[in-house]
Amino acid sequence: MKKSTKIITSAVTAVALLLGVSGAVYASESVKTEECEAAEINEIEEETVDTGSYEMNETFSMDDEVAYIFTNYDGSVNKVMDSIWIEDGNEKTEDGSEAKLPVDLKVSYELDGISVTPSELEGKDGHLKITCEFTDNEYEMKNINGKEEKIYVPYLASLVTVMDDEKYSNVTVSSGKVTYDGTRYAILGLAFPGLSEDMGDTITSIDIPNKIELEADVKDCEPTGLYLLVSDSVFSNMDLDTDTEVGKLTDAMGQLSDAVKQLMDGSSKLYDGLGELETGANQISDGVTQLSDGLNQIDANSAALNDGALQVFNALLATATQQINAAGVSVPALTVDNYNDVINGAINQISGTDVAGMARSQVEAGVKQYASEHASENMAAATSAARSQVEAAVTEYVKNNVVVPQVDANADLIKQGIRAEVEANSSAVEAQVKQGVLAQMGIDDYDSLDDSSKAQVDAAVQANLPAAIDQAVEANYPSVREAKINEAMASSETQAAIAAEVDCRMNSDEVKNGISQGLNDKINQAINEKYNSAEVQSQIAAGNAKVSSGVSSLRNLQNQLNSYAQFYQGIQAYTGAVGQAAEGAGKLKNAMPEFVQGVETLRNGQGQLSDGIKKFDEDGIEELNGVVEDNVEGLAERFAAMTDAAADHNKYDEAGSSKNGVKFIYKVSVSD
């Protein structure tokens, strides 16, 4: 058995669970997975079909024959595989030209109203509409109320798919349900191929769909695959008892007749009640007259009350305007219509005050003004400091790169001079060597030695004297070298060269720019020190406190004005309501004579209504009974003919006759 059979079985199971249990709609994720693994049937290795891992419900039973239809993106058939062939170990498939399906499928795609193919949808944005339209090809000729008519085999067609909310939104389906879990849309659409034709003119108030329209807004579209289930099981298992259904409707019509008789009894009682209403209407007329007169008297004082409330409001607004301007915030005159906007603007103006920024700007201005006033002396000081740095750098450079190399080049000559001086004073060196020899030999007094011992000491002194002279030369060389260097550095030629180099560097752009940058750095340093000083920070804190206090005062003032505005509006609403009530009471007073006369007319008309109800019972209800009975019998015959046709066509392969019914699973490809 091919691996493709397991793929198909998984897809079918997902669809069956979706139809059987609404909460299992996301079982179609397996459909989405299989779509990604889809391959040509003949290219998949054999593998045993394992259906034991799937739990079927009674909507999709393993006792049903299942035909798997693989279609192109437009619904045209590519190939067919039947579960009967799979059970028999037959690898047979039919291509689209051989298949004779009872229901044809047509799939179309539109993006923003323009027909497209799935490949053209890739990466596009817009409004997508997918239409799955079904055509029923199976019918039988049946006798309906003595007339031969085509009765199509009725089918239930359902579509199931899942859409990711990263690509799809505002998903709808024409007939069915869309479920959203926060990340995906699960769509179930329904249609009934053949059912509308079978009903004919018996049911005109119900629109029976023969197509499914799926719509969504797409972004960077990735077309998703479609699975459709077409089944006759719903109708082939129906059992309609015509006599029972007609009997039920006949009983209902009898109940309607009884209800009309009860209506007649109620009409008589209503006539008696209208007599009592006529008496009460005259009493109501007197009361309405009193109410109208009282309201007119109250309404006469409304204008004075409104004017007084407005004068108080205007006085409060004028005082508020003066207070705000006195606080240093310039605002126009407050009025009833603008006071909220003006105060909100003033609050925004004050709240947006950057106290710290203003303080820094003032500090910067002050420091820069001082720097400008002392520019010449600041420049002189900066230039002097720069010259000192340049002189030090040039002097160091000349010493390390000119004088020192020259002195070190004459090191041997210098050491020869030192050696000559040491040798000229060799007695001192010899005395030091002699002391060292005596100490090494452990002798305290040279003069006390005999001649032989003295000769040994003298010989040792002479042996160590050359080395001691060398040590003396090396010991004196650093100080002599340093003296030579200092002497060369102090020479007029060296000092002149240093001065010339310093002047050259001081006139360079680099040094001039450095002096300018140094002045700017000093200014910025002074600004930061002044801004961060305790004095300025204290002023900033005081300014922020003042801003906060000003905002709070304005809000309190606004709340006070709002409170009076509510009172003022209440006065207006009250006087307006009084005026409306007075006007309404006047109209009611004027209408009362007509009302009293209308009650009299109503009582007289009630007698005529009672007679009309009786005539309706005699002429209408009985005739309706006959019409309904005829239509119910015709509708029942149609349903019986439909179920017979469904039972006669409940297989695809001849071997499928042993099954309970047939299901057609359509897998629509998204590739062109």
Of 496, 531, 566, the position where a domain reaches its end is 531
- Of 531, 566, 598, the one marking the end of a domain is 531
Q: What is the pLDDT of residue 400?
A: 92
- Predicted confidence at residue 2, as pLDDT, reads 38
Going by C-beta distance under 8 Å and a sequence separation of 6 or more, which residues neighbour residue 485?
A: 399, 403, 404, 407
pTM of the shown model: 0.40
Q: Is residue 589 in some structural domain?
A: no
Q: Residue 320 has what pLDDT?
A: 85
For residue 17 the two structure tokens come to: 């669970």
Residues 25 and 156 in one domain: yes
Give a yes or no: residue 578 inside a domain. Answer: no
pLDDT at position 486: 93
Q: Rounded distance, CA 59 to CA 188, Å?
A: 15
Same domain for 27 and 172, yes or no, is yes
Q: Which residues of the chain register pLDDT less than 70?
A: 1-63, 91, 201-206, 234, 236-278, 280-282, 285, 294-295, 301, 589, 591, 594-636
Looking at the fold, whether 515 and 653 belong to one and the same domain comes out as: no
Residue 254 lies in a domain: no
Last residue of a domain, one of 469, 501, 531: 531
Can you give the residue range of the structural domain that contains 385? 365-531
Helix 411-424 vs helix 451-489: crossing angle, to nearest 10: 140
3-class SS of residue 617: helix
In a domain, 73, yes or no: yes
Given the structure tokens 């239930």, which residue do they identify?
A: 156
Residue at token pair 């000092």: 495
Residue 555 lies in a domain: no
Number of domains in the chain: 2
The rounded distance, in Å, linking the Cα atoms of 543 and 102 is: 87
Residue 308 lies in a domain: no
Is residue 126 classed as helix, strand or coil in its secondary structure?
strand
Instruction: Note the pLDDT of residue 19.
Output: 38
The Cα angle at residue 127 between residues 125 and 130, in degrees rounded to 5: 115
pLDDT at res. 289: 76
Q: What is the mean pLDDT of the chain?
A: 77
The pLDDT score that the predictor gives to residue 206 is: 65
Q: Residue 351 has what pLDDT?
A: 78
Q: Is 628 inside any structural domain?
A: no
Interhelix angle 426-441/411-424, nearest 10 degrees: 80
| Residues 6+ away with beta carbon under 8 Å from 634 | 144, 145, 202
**What is the distance of C-alpha 651 from the center of its chain?**
51
SS (H, E, C) 461-517: HHHHHHHHHHHHHHHHHHHHHHHHHHHHHCCHHHHHHHHHHHHHHHCCHHHHHHHHH
Residue 353 lies in a domain: no
CA-CA distance, 31 to 24, in Å (whole number)? 13
What is the reported pLDDT for 467? 84
